[in-house]
Amino acid sequence: MEPLIGMGVLALMGAAATVAGASEDLESDVGSQSNPNSQVQLAPQMMYPHRIYNKAISGEPPSNALMCAIGGTTASVLMTAYSMSPLFAIAMGALFAAIVHGSYSISAFLGRPASQKRFKQPVYLDVLRSHTPVIMGYSYITTFCILVVSYLMIAVLGHPFPLPLLAFIWGITVGAIGSSTGDVHYGAEREFQNVEFGAGLNAANSGNIVRTAESGLRNGIDNSWFCAKFGGPVTGIAFGMTVFLSGWVTTVFNPAASLTMGWLSVVAGVILVLIMIIWNRKIEVAARAAFGPYKEDEVAA
Amino acid sequence: MSAGGEPAVAGGAVAPNKIIAFGILGGLIGIYAAHFLDSMISPVFSFMGALGAICAIVWGADAVRRVCSYGLGTGVPSIGMLALGMGVVASMFGLAVGGIAGPIIAFVSAAIIGLIIGVLANKVLGMNIPIMEQSMVEIAGAGALTIVGLSTTMAGTFMFEEVLTFVIAPGYIAVIFIAGGMGILHPFNACLGPDEHQDRTLTLGFEKGGIAMVIAGLVSAVAGSAAMLPTIMIGVFIWYTSFAKFYELTKRDSYKILGSGLLPSEEELQ
């Protein structure tokens, strides 16, 4: 394969991954999955009932792995057994995955408040009806983009893994990156806008999440609106960079060409990781200098 | 702290032993029926494997529910993944060496792996959960039967050659792993809380099993399309009836189901 085509495919994969990362984070924000979930779950117990969609499907990596594996499986079956075009098969796979994800979201939304009857958290059906299609929409975009990335890796870059397995692995990855990168924006900031910025979560504030919006009562779509400004895009960039850079080292230094090239790709990878570590450290120090200092008693709490 | 109040030993209307018997017998009967009816009468009958897997999923969900009521709030998803992790190793081993006894060997070896993990968790890690060993055995066994059951539906048999060709090599084992694992972990994770009820949680197990069955039916088109439609239709039927039942039980159990409305007032919360 021409190196230039390889780079082009890699750029396309990076772009698809960026969209997947952003939509994955926003999908989890609409339903308060993962990081912010424990506080949304805790709030009614602390006498703070709310109108926020609480979607405890599982951690984000398994739930994204589920929808991507289902999408990859459906697409693979349609391509193998019915010789459908890849684009159509991927679209159908993503559709089926979104429907299954919607079913999982609904059962999680209904299950938890019903198991917390004593804390008097009502089940609001209008929240269910308005949020579930949004969640399904985002999960469609995520699955579609992950399947595009996986399909390009197999069809163009010649990756040996089959589509469902590769989609499964990328699903876990996008879930893990969304959980660690984007959710912090929602869990640490959006939920606790009523305390000083950077204060951390004092035990006394547990469950005391912000329940009122700019107008009326806050819901999950308000949260995704907020997170679309920073958390979603930053997750997209993180995931896009992961896909692009991890592919870039082996495209520029192709291990198939020679052993030396293989080692050079390892060295390039290590250099990239080192640059990232130093860069992250610089950002953290700069952020502490600009927004700190963090107070001693709050660290202890 | 357990998410949702004081850790209570989970009871339920249906005794654990009955569900264990339902899972093991239902699972094995389904798998063997699928295998033999498929070869003797018609490939249509391979849907029985997925029915066996649903029995195993419901059993696994009940086992997760019993062990996780000891305060494993965020550990629920991990334990579901652990179940399928143990199950996939055992079922591949069992099917590879067992021949016609494959599912039983898979089940027994899963139980042994589960026992070892349970002893390690309690004695070495010091988790000190009284039912840990038994639960790990149950969860691993349920995971193995789920994998073998869904594989049998996909390939039409549990003979290792076919399973290798139609399930493992094309990567469909990934979707078995995650759809089966979510079927086992999601019911209790979704219904976690002090007012959790066994019937509602297990209904959700049936519902998620129905989804896994639909997926297995879809994949069975690769090995031969005879079983596809019946498997998908039965799966959708199980999904729909158990979903409707789950919604009914949610209406029974929840504090209030409102079409819309403001938050409860201070007086109401007292």
Q: Which site among A34, A73, A79, A206 would you substitute to test the B interface, given the most B Cβ atoms closer than 10 Å to its Cβ?
A: A73
Kindly state the tokens that stand for B16.
Answer: 């654990």
- B216-266: pLDDT as tens digits: 999 999 988 788 999 999 999 999 999 999 999 999 999 989 998 888 888
- B52-94: pLDDT as tens digits: 999 999 999 999 998 887 777 667 888 888 888 999 999 999 9
Q: Any CB–CB contact under 8 A between B12 and chain A?
A: no
Bridge partners, residue A284, by sequence: none
- CA atoms of A99 and A87, how far apart (whole Å): 19
- CA atoms of A301 and A46, how far apart (whole Å): 19
Token look-up 């490939």 returns B43
- Which region holds residue B10: left if phi is over 0, alpha if psi is between -120 and 50, else beta? beta
Closest CA to B224 of A92, A81, A79: A81
The answer to whether the beta carbons of residues B48 and B191 sit under 8 Å apart is no
The answer to whether the beta carbons of residues A253 and A265 sit under 8 Å apart is yes
- The predicted pLDDT at position A1 comes to 65
Lowest mean pLDDT segment, chosen from A155-159, A292-296, B28-32: A292-296
The answer to whether the beta carbons of residues B242 and B206 sit under 8 Å apart is yes
User: What ipTM was predicted for this assembly?
Assistant: 0.92
Judging contacts by C-beta atoms under 8 Å, the chain B residues touching residue A120 are: 255-256, 264, 268-269
Q: Please name the residues in contact with B125: beta carbons below 8 A apart, sequence gap of 6 or more.
A: none
For the segment A255-262, the average pLDDT, to the nearest whole number, is 86
- Facing residue for B171 by CB, picked from A42, A56, A163: A163
Instruction: Report the SS3 class of residue B258.
Output: strand
Judging contacts by C-beta atoms under 8 Å, the chain A residues touching residue B81 are: 62
The DSSP symbol for B165 reads I
pLDDT higher than threshold 50 for residue B2 = no
Band (B5; pLDDT cuts 50, 70, 90): very low
Question: What is the distance in angstroms between the Cα of B184 and the nearest Cα belonging to chain A?
Answer: 11
pLDDT higher than threshold 80 for residue A299 = no
Instruction: Report the SS3 class of residue B166.
Output: helix
CB pairs under 8 A between A and B: 192
- Facing residue for A123 by CB, picked from B207, B246, B257: B257
Single-letter amino acid, residue A227? C
Bridge partners, residue A217, by sequence: A212
Question: What is the distance in angstroms between the Cα of A283 and the nearest Cα belonging to chain B?
Answer: 31
Instruction: Report the SS3 class of residue B228.
Output: helix
- Facing residue for A164 by CB, picked from B172, B186, B191: B172
- A275-287: pLDDT as tens digits: 999 999 999 889 8
- CA atoms of B214 and B218, how far apart (whole Å): 6
- Facing residue for A122 by CB, picked from B177, B207, B255: B255
Judging contacts by C-beta atoms under 8 Å, the chain A residues touching residue B172 are: 73, 76, 164
Judging contacts by C-beta atoms under 8 Å, the chain A residues touching residue B204 are: 107, 111
Report chain A's terminal Cα–Cα distance, integer Å.
57
Q: Any CB–CB contact under 8 A between A103 and chain B?
A: yes
Write the CA distances from A109 to A78, B46, B252, B267, integer angstroms: 32, 34, 15, 25
- B109-118: pLDDT as tens digits: 999 999 999 8
- For chain A, the structural domain boundaries read 3-237, 253-301
Judging contacts by C-beta atoms under 8 Å, the chain A residues touching residue B243 are: 103, 107
pLDDT higher than threshold 50 for residue A209 = yes
* Residue-averaged pLDDT of chain A: 90
Bridge partners, residue A212, by sequence: A217
- The predicted pLDDT at position A161 comes to 94
Write the CA distances from A170 to A149, A160, A177, B181, integer angstroms: 9, 15, 10, 18
- CA atoms of B59 and B25, how far apart (whole Å): 11
Band (A293; pLDDT cuts 50, 70, 90): low
Kindly state the tokens that stand for A178.
Answer: 């969304």
Question: What is the distance in angstroms between the Cα of A225 and the nearest Cα belonging to chain B?
Answer: 21
Q: What are phi and psi of B12, to 5 degrees?
A: 175, 165
Q: Please judge whether A125 and B243 are an interchain contact, meaning their C-beta atoms are less than 8 angstroms apart.
A: no
Q: What are phi and psi of A212, to 5 degrees?
A: -110, 145
Q: Please judge whether B215 and A82 are an interchain contact, meaning their C-beta atoms are less than 8 angstroms apart.
A: no
- B8-59: pLDDT as tens digits: 445 567 888 999 999 999 999 999 999 999 889 888 999 999 999 999 999 9
Q: Report the chain B residue with the minimal C-alpha distance to residue A69.
A: B175
- The predicted pLDDT at position B8 comes to 44
CA dihedral (A50, A55, A58, A62) positive or negative: negative
For the segment B134-163, the average pLDDT, to the nearest whole number, is 93
The DSSP symbol for B101 reads G
Q: Any CB–CB contact under 8 A between A253 and chain B?
A: no
Kindly state the tokens that stand for A29.
Answer: 């924000």
- A45-88: pLDDT as tens digits: 989 999 999 998 988 999 999 999 999 999 999 999 999 999 99
- The predicted pLDDT at position A141 comes to 97
Q: Please judge whether A217 and B3 are an interchain contact, meaning their C-beta atoms are less than 8 angstroms apart.
A: no
Write the CA distances from B69 to A38, B21, B62, B129, B249, integer angstroms: 17, 21, 11, 10, 20
Q: Please judge whether B268 and A72 are an interchain contact, meaning their C-beta atoms are less than 8 angstroms apart.
A: no
A237 vs A250, residue with greater confidence: A237
pLDDT higher than threshold 60 for residue B96 = yes
Question: What is the distance in angstroms between the Cα of A208 and the nearest Cα belonging to chain B?
Answer: 15
Q: What is the DSSP string of chain A?
A: --HHHHHHHHHHHHHHHHHHHHHHHHHHHHTT-STTHHHHHHGGGGT---------SS-HHHHHHHHHHHHHHHHHHHHHHH---HHHHHHHHHHHHHHHHHHHHHHHHHHHHHTTGGGT--EEHHHHHHHHHHHHHHHHHHHHHHHHHHHHHHHTT--SS-HHHHHHHHHHHHHHHIIIIIHHIIIIIITTTTS-TT----GGGTT----B-SSSB--HHHHHHHHTTTHHHHHHHHHHHHHHHHHHHHHHS-TTT-HHHHHHHHHHHHHHHHHHHHHHHHHHHHHHHHH-PPPHHHHH-
Q: Any CB–CB contact under 8 A between A161 and chain B?
A: yes
- A2-15: pLDDT as tens digits: 778 888 999 999 99
Kindly state the tokens that stand for B177.
Answer: 């792993």
